[in-house]
Amino acid sequence: RLGAGVSMRTVLAKTALGQVTLFPAYLTAFFAYSAYLEEIFERGTRDLGTIAEAAKSRIASQFGPSFAGGCVFWPCVNVINFGAVPPSGRVAYVAGVGVAWNAFLSWRNALENKA
């Protein structure tokens, strides 16, 4: 059972589960949605094929470096979250560090626009 992080084994199991399940889906959605919005609002594209190609290209170029960065950042954050932060403070803690992570993703996304 993955309840409160009472042992290091539980903390590591929760961290690994999130890293291999939720994290790849989140990155894929982030870069696909960013490309979608940029195609519609910055380029005026309405063609779904063009939008899909832009999303595919963005994911292909940004997923790997972002996933690598997240494989360093999020396990550290989650070990602290599940191991040291009381349950009542976990949402606030993750929301706070999430701001820093989303700033990193926005920076990665902006690199694509400069290329």
Residue 109: partners with Cβ closer than 8 Å, 6 or more residues away: 30, 31, 34, 58, 62
CA 58 to chain centroid: 14
Q: Indicate the average pLDDT of the chain.
A: 88
Residue 1 has a pLDDT of: 46
HEC readout, 74-110: HHHHHHHHHHCCCHHHHHHHHHHHHHHHHHHHHHHHH
Query: Is the model's pLDDT at 2 over the cut of 70?
Result: no
Angle between helices 22-41 and 90-114 (to 10 degrees): 50
- Give the model's pLDDT for residue 18: 85
**Residue 62 · residue 112 · CB < 8 Å:** yes
pLDDT digits (tens, 9 = 90+) for 74-110: 989 988 888 888 889 999 999 999 999 999 999 988 8
pLDDT classification of 115: cutoffs 50, 70, 90: low
4: left (phi over 0), alpha (psi -120 to 50) or beta: beta
The answer to whether residue 45 scores a pLDDT higher than 50 is: yes
pLDDT of amino acid 6: 65
What's the pLDDT band for 44 if we cut at 50, 70, 90? Answer: very high
Measured torsion, CA atoms of residues 100, 20, 71, 86, in degrees rounded to the nearest 10: 50
